[in-house]
Structure formats: C-alpha cells, structure tokens
Amino acid sequence: MAAVGTGRDKPVPYGRDPNAGVCARVDRIRADAPCRRPYRRLASGITLIELLVVLALLGVLAAVALPNLERLTASVTRDTQREHILNQFAELGAAAMLDGLDYVVVGTDAPDGEAIDALVGRTRYPLDVPGGWEVLIDEPILARANGVCLGGAVTLLHEELEPLSLELTAPFCRVDAS
C-alpha cells in the first residue's frame, strides 16, 4: 500500500506520519539546509515542590512576625490613647471659650465631682480617660472663659508604661514633655 501524495513509492507503516521526513518550513534560506524540529516552548508554571517550599518559607516568616505584630498593635493602641488624652488638654482653652465657662481639670484620683466643684467654684472639665490610664494632677488646672489656660503639671500613668510627666504651659496649655 503506497501513501498517496507523499512523493514516496514505499509503503508507510501504520501509525507513522507520512510527512515525518519532509520539512514543512517553506522559508528556509537554503534548500539543502537541514530540517529542524519546530521549537517547543517549555511548560510554564510551577512544580508542586516549588509551591511547598514557598509555603514552608511563608510559615517560618509568619511564626517570626506574628508575635511582634501583636506587640505592635498594642503599642499603637497605647500611643493613640495617650494622644487622645493630650488632645483634650490642648483643646481645653477653646472648649472653655466656646462654652463660656471657667473649667477646672482634676486628675482621675480626685474626689467626686460635686465636692471638687464646690471646693474650686468652677465647672469640672470632663476628661475622657481610656481604660488602663490614670491622670494625676497635683494642682487643679484652670481654664478661663476667655480661652486662657493657666497651665500646670500632669502625670500620665499606664499599667505597661513608665510614668509620663508633662508640663502644660500658659496661655494655651501646650504640652511640653519632660
């Protein structure tokens, strides 16, 4: 049995490509140039071993980084809470002027509100102190209705931090850390 259209007179065995020896490239430079197999692209992608190695490395990095991440978030939370307390002192004069009241600021260890109001004769400024924090003030800090804050010394205490002593300077109760 002869293959039809192959240009060969010999029979072609079953399952074999009749054009196996014929070069299909027409754009060869020379007619007698050897016929090469067409370039096959290598398989793209990753192997299972490579994937497992990457996952193992990610696991090691996570084991190292996660404990520090918890400490970082706790530190950021404490810093945000401290800034919240300090911002209340910074806006004390403006709050007194807007409300038209003379304010007094006492620490978190001060006696009950009515007793301190009667003692000083001014309105107690409501400090919003986050949990775990204490504000210690030796002498009450006064803010007049015209927006002038008379200043004073403040100490911030937290369970996990060293005490932070601050000096609020008149007339705006600006914070100077010492």
Which option is the CATH number for 81-177: 3.30.2010, 3.55.40, 2.30.29, 1.10.1060? 3.55.40
Overall residue count recorded for the chain in this entry = 178
Cβ atoms of 151 and 92 within 8 Å: the answer is: no
Round to whole Å and give the CA distance between 173 and 97.
14
- Strands of the 152-158 sheet, one edge to the other: 133-137, 152-158, 164-169, 174-177
pLDDT in tens, 108-159: 877 766 556 656 678 888 889 999 999 999 888 899 989 999 889 999 999 8
Position with higher pLDDT, 76 vs 23: 76
pLDDT in tens, 29-44: 555 656 565 566 666 7
Average pLDDT, the chain: 79
Position with higher pLDDT, 67 vs 51: 51
Cβ atoms of 157 and 107 within 8 Å: the answer is: no
